[in-house]
Amino acid sequence: MLMQGKRVLICGVANDHSIAWSIAQRLHAEGAELAFSYPNDSIEKRVRPLAESLGSSLVLPCDVGSDAEIDALFAELGEHWDGLDGLVHSIAFASRDELKGRFIDTTRDGFRLALDVSAYSLVALTRRAEPLLASRRGAVLTLTYFGAEKVLPNYNVMGIAKAALESSVRYLAPDLGAAGVRVNALSAGPMRTLSSAGISGFKTMLHHHAERAPLRRNTTGDDVAGTAVYLLSDLSGGVTGEVVHVDGGYNILGM
Ligand code: NAD
Ligand code: 0WE
């Protein structure tokens, strides 16, 4: 039981296909006590029953595009918990129009929204979580994608947002490291979730990945959850500012 007695806030469960949900289930299996956040009423309807199935009734609103809602989230969390061992950030959003066509056509508003919700939100959440995390030498984990490093068709402004997110992980690491708090990212291979539904060419991508990746298969929720438990538990005590690839080895290939 690697997470016995540990308290983890999970931001980014939308449904039972969410990467954050795979992570939540595994953390629960390892003994963690969980809290969840949701951005709006329609997602609350899905998250609340999922949370309750893991014995969690701490299910709180937070659209990460709003500083006031992030303040309110941690004000409420602080009423229930005197410390935090883990924060999981599994949130990304860009306007659908930006995830097709030429990157050069990215609008100012599209760029601002994608970077705000997908990258700045990690900084904003981590700053509010810092006092709670410091009291227990906790860990922060975010989810990223290979599109931060290399150019992939249609990922467009999300690639820039993920590059900013990964760099934010590195810049946060020394800020929090003095208190023994670690910050890492997990770079997952393509997976079928709400966020990848309806992306043109996504099915082709999954096929390509399963054929080409050194492990000759796609990434699963269990793959991601195992590494997430490692990065949130004392097993990874010496690891911070790192981006760990969980992609069947796809990223190492040159051709
Ligand atoms: P998902 O749709 O289940 O999760 C995305 C979450 O972001 C949702 O829960 C949604 O409610 C939340 N969100 C969006 N805007 C928000 C806002 N303003 N405030 C609060 N929450 C907001 O999809 P997923 O694939 O599980 O994505 C989770 C993370 O994993 C994302 O960061 C994504 O970039 C990353 N990722 C996904 C894949 C993939 O192929 N699915 C691969 C690598 C990394
Ligand atoms: O990070 C992601 C998903 C990001 C995402 C997806 C959507 C779809 C619906 C952000 N915002 C939105 N907005 C919507 O309206 N992934 C890593 C999954 C993903 O998305 C892609 C991919 C992959 C892989 C988009 C284009 C190309 C590849």
Interval 27-82: pLDDT, tens = 999 999 999 999 999 999 999 999 999 999 999 999 999 999 999 999 999 999 99
Q: Is residue 251 part of a domain?
A: no
Q: Kindly indicate the confidence band of residue 149, based on its pLDDT and cuts at 50, 70 and 90.
A: very high
The structural domain count of the chain equals 1
Q: What is the pLDDT of residue 198?
A: 86
Q: What is the pLDDT of residue 239?
A: 99
DSSP string for residues in the chain: -TTTT-EEEEE---STT-HHHHHHHHHHHTT-EEEEEESSHHHHHHHHHHHHHTT---EEE--TT-HHHHHHHHHHHHHH-S--SEEEE------GGGGSS-GGG--HHHHHHHHIIIIIHHHHHHHHHHHHHHTTT-EEEEEE-GGGTS--TTTTHHHHHHHHHHHHHHHHHHHHHTTT-EEEEEEEPP--STTTTT-TTHHHHHHHHHHHSTTSS---HHHHHHHHHHHHSGGGTT--S-EEEESTTGGG---
Q: Is residue 1 part of a domain?
A: no
Q: Is residue 252 part of a domain?
A: no
Q: What is the pLDDT of residue 200?
A: 87
Q: Is residue 73 part of a domain?
A: yes
Q: Is residue 205 part of a domain?
A: yes
Q: Is residue 254 part of a domain?
A: no
For ligand 1, say whether the CB of 233 is within 6 Å of any of its atoms. Answer: no
Q: Is residue 55 part of a domain?
A: yes
Interval 110-135: pLDDT, tens = 999 999 999 999 999 999 999 999 99
Q: What is the pLDDT of residue 72?
A: 98
Return the ligand number nearest the Cα of 218. Answer: 1
For ligand 2, say whether the CB of 17 is within 6 Å of any of its atoms. Answer: no
Whichever domain contains 20, its CATH number is: 3.40.50.720
- What is the average pLDDT score of the chain? 98
Q: Kindly indicate the confidence band of residue 8, based on its pLDDT and cuts at 50, 70 and 90.
A: very high
Q: Is residue 253 part of a domain?
A: no
Which domain range does residue 26 map to?
Answer: 7-246
127 CA → ligand 2 middle, Å: 26
Catalytic center residues: 145, 155
